Structure 1
């Protein structure tokens, strides 16, 4: 049963860069938004939350050292995300059923691509959702809300894998349903390198400073309590373009390391147990291979097709899972 103080269900959509997270979130919003409920004058409300909107300003993004010894900013680590701000925002959404006024999206200013899903399929799925909700939903005086949260780093491992103290624990626990989209290394590399860049916020960073600690990875930076009801007063926007070799130096190894608990080794060693976070980064990358196999026993729903299914198949899978979860909570 849905707790009485909660006014929204949060659906988390995660996976590597360029795996289709934003595309799926936008399709799901089209499928679910405004669907008639019982009573007839009630409609389903939906909106999207982009994890990219919770990046620290440019001058607070950490640096890392590539294999060639070059110092560059690392946008693919938890240390680049204001995790306390994200957690506060998710709890606000659950309690109020709306986005906090503080949050204004810059992600929607970035490039969009064709979803590959026809309007006919979207309308077909809207009809299925409407029919199921009309037939099965119990009478409610509330206007229910579904929030779709999409991001590259949202989930934490289970407690037996060290998840209790994980930097993303508060984010993971604020999500009701966890959806994961695997994607092969070659696809991630091609799509990511094909992007023009990303809108960012804040002052330009200072030149990198050499540090014995390296400044690599780690947990999210400490953030003070955010006034979620205040207007967004974050600094002017900039534009980030991946430097040459960024996917191989940062994006892919960071993804594999952060998801070692979820990904399954392709060499048969430890099959169905996920990667070993104690291994060196290069060993993890080697064992995971193209990165398309993920565990299904850790509370995370994994999209069908090992990254090869079309977005129409993934969309149908997600709609069915969300419908089932939503109806079970009513």
Structure 2
């Protein structure tokens, strides 16, 4: 189960006055998927949320940023597929296949969050109840990282800077940011309708041994109908093979470790770091760089490309 170099701004752009047309906005969904399980995707999502919500644009409403956890859309435990664990003969629940996820409800929640900047009122999350879902504070996430707090503060200023750049150049504001934290959302078995909802896609790869160790260090997971703890061999015999099977189509020659995305994957706005061994702060900086390129370069430098689907604020 997987419940689990920056760009400089154009000086002319940054110094031009706020345009007179009425402010328009876009409900912008960012999809960040960290595959496989146990690769730090939730921590990264929370740091990105902090970066977006720490800066309020002058004279405009603050950016709303919410995290939608893919782990909240599992089917009930009793409805999970049962599979043989490798060649052991043991039958176990399969938490790492598309059939384990209730995609229609997932899609409805993504659309709602994009439209309203918040989660549906009926949404229930297990991220704050299972053993690895406790909300980390920034101090905990940066514990032991040299200059961690300073790096986060610098990245927050950068995010605020390029959000201001979007408003000053286009009269548009990124109003809602939805971060979807999931482990299987780029898999072959995921409905295309759901994948089309995401404007920016991050795939955070992790070395096998690191992911395995993180998984084994966890106490377990609170589920819809109980509690789950991996039986021996679950990661190496089911979790990792499922990750490779579901995502190899995104990479040249099916080589996930080499990490060279196919042209089709890149055209579909999927991005992945070149390295798999970088730490959380390095990954956060990469994510902010990538968002800056997408939101500022594609929106500000090419105002007519409709990367932002805007609606006049007075309608």
- TM above 0.5: yes
Match of 2:39 in 1: 19
SS at match of 1:9: strand
Name whichever of 126-135 and 242-251 sits farther off.
Answer: 126-135
Higher helix share: 2
Change (3 A) 1:323 1:44: farther
Conserved 8 A contact 1:7-1:95: no
2:180 is equivalent to residue 119 of structure 1: no
Residue 17 (structure 1) shift: 0.6
**Cα distance, 1:252 vs. partner?**
0.5
| Corresponding residue to 2:165 among 125, 135, 153 | 135
* 1:264-304 deviation digits (Å, cap 9, x = unpaired): xxxxxxxx2326xxxxxxxxxxxx6xx36241531354433
Which residue of 216, 219, 222 maps to 1:196? 219
| Contact 1:182–1:292 (CA under 8 A) maintained in structure 2 | no
TM (norm. structure 1) is: 0.72
Q: Is the 8 A contact 1:51 1:149 kept in 2?
A: yes
Aligned length: 261
Q: Which has the higher contact order (CA 8 A, sep 6+)?
A: 2
Deviations 1:296-329, CA, capped at 9 Å, x for gaps: 5313544334211122121111112223333414
In the aligned structure 1, how far is the partner of 2:51 from the partner of 2:173?
20
Residue by residue over 1:41-86, the C-alpha shift from the partner in whole angstroms, topping out at 9 and shown as x without a partner, is 4211101010000011111111111121110001111111101111
Q: Does 1:145 align with 2:173?
A: no
Compute the TM-score of the two structures, normalised by the length of structure 2.
0.75
Unaligned runs of 5+ in 2: 1-22, 300-306, 309-315
1:241 aligns with 2:220: no
Equivalent-residue separation in structure 2 for 1:306 and 1:189 (angstroms): 18
Offset of 1:143 from its aligned partner? 7.2
5+ residue gaps, structure 1, are 158-165, 203-237, 264-271, 276-287
Partner of 1:167: 190
Partner of 2:20: none
